[in-house]
Amino acid sequence: MSQSTNPNRDKIAQLIASKKKHLKQLTADVLFEQIIGGSIQALSETITLLESKNNSDYLKAQDIIKKVIPYASKSIRIGITGVPGVGKSTFIESFGNFLTEKGHKVAVLAIDPSSEKSRGSILGDKTRMANLAANPNAYIRPTASSGSLGGVAQKTRESVLLCEAAGFDVILIETVGVGQSEIAVHSMTDFFLLLMLAGAGDELQGIKRGIMEMADSILISKADGENVKYANIARLDYKNALHLFPANANNWIPKVETLSSLENHGVEKIWNIITDFKQMTTENRHFDYKRNEQQKFWMNESLKERILTDFYSNANYIKHKQNIESQLDKGEITSFQAAELLYNITYKK
Ligand code: GDP
């Protein structure tokens, strides 16, 4: 039966459309009230406004974000990374369901720099976590994939605040184990979790050392069936490897565990690790210190983005760029001289 000849489906589509229209007409004040009242529709609508290319939508979202700040922060923000196929979404599903059973409210966000290209490996839709998506105490927001990493990261950070204001006390931010996105996610979370596969002999090859150094815990995934023994070997290898890294300023020693999301093994253990981490870093004040440092980091990132946009849209820069590039092509000046010239011309120095 085609869509237009199915009266039920038409009715549902009409209902959804009228609800969306109704939400769009709500003022920033009303959306704010609804968000702090726990409305997922108002939360979703505000994140949509935040991601909108329409400036007045964006400004409305900013207005709401300003209002929610005092209500946001009572949460634990957890970053989750690992190469595609390592088992992130399966883990998030069992971890998310485990947490909601313990009375938590769980929001899942993602930063996926690859989704703009053809790889699309994260949260393209909710079918990856269908079970968790249907859980009334969980909220899954597919990745905002357009724009620069800095822009996407800013929106994700602001979405975190909105989710917290709506009562979500565990925020999971997923990313893939490639590129700069780990640094972005690490810089907006309290605890950083790396999922790794047990390989035969090449356990330390899969992921860059820098990402391992950022991890507060490494989980060796798919530790079930035949794979258990390889997972245990990998666990010891990573444990030994982590000893070689410099100690963390917060005194935390990263923990390495095995995990089977399918058999629900390790899921409770990782929550205990995160709880211990929160307790320890709260006591030694590193929890708040890190959040404050992160705020300053993102302030500087926003400033950099603003300065770059300002520079590249400056009329002087646009007018002289080609000429200076052609001098560079002819070997008349060096790259550094070209940059100096362009900078001085742009700002008329
Ligand atoms: P992601 O790309 O990192 O999100 O990985 P997925 O969660 O989509 O998992 C990739 C594949 O690994 C799927 O076929 C899963 O069924 C499988 N998988 C995930 N977790 C486990 C696990 O704990 N044990 C086993 N045996 N397979 C798993």
Reported as a single tens digit per residue, the pLDDT across 2-57 is 445 677 777 777 766 766 666 677 899 999 999 999 999 999 999 999 888 888 99
* Averaged pLDDT for residues 176-194: 85
d(CA 203, CA 201): 6
Nearest CA to ligand 1 atom 12: 87
- Angle (CA) 102-107-111 rounded to 5° is 140
What pLDDT shows up at residue 211?
A: 83
Residue 1's pLDDT is 41
Compute, in angstroms, the gap from residue 132 CA to the centroid of ligand 1. Answer: 15
What CA–CA distance (Å, rounded) separates 336 from 333? 8
pLDDT digits (tens, 9 = 90+) for 201-258: 455 555 677 788 889 999 999 999 999 999 999 999 888 888 888 888 888 999 999 9
Distance CA 169, CA 38 (A): 12
Rounded to 10°, the helix 28-36/40-51 angle is 130
Model pTM score:
0.86
> Does ligand 1 lie within 6 Å of residue 228's CB atom?
no
In this structure, what token pair is assigned to residue 73?
A: 């922060």
Distance, CA of 273 to chain centre: 21
Q: What percent of the chain has pLDDT over 90?
A: 58
Give tens-digit pLDDT for 77-106: 999 998 888 899 999 999 999 999 999 999
The single residue listed with the structure tokens 């966000």 is 109
Instruction: Give the Cα separation of 275 and 33 in Å (integer).
Output: 31
Minimal-distance CA residue to ligand 1 atom 27: 222
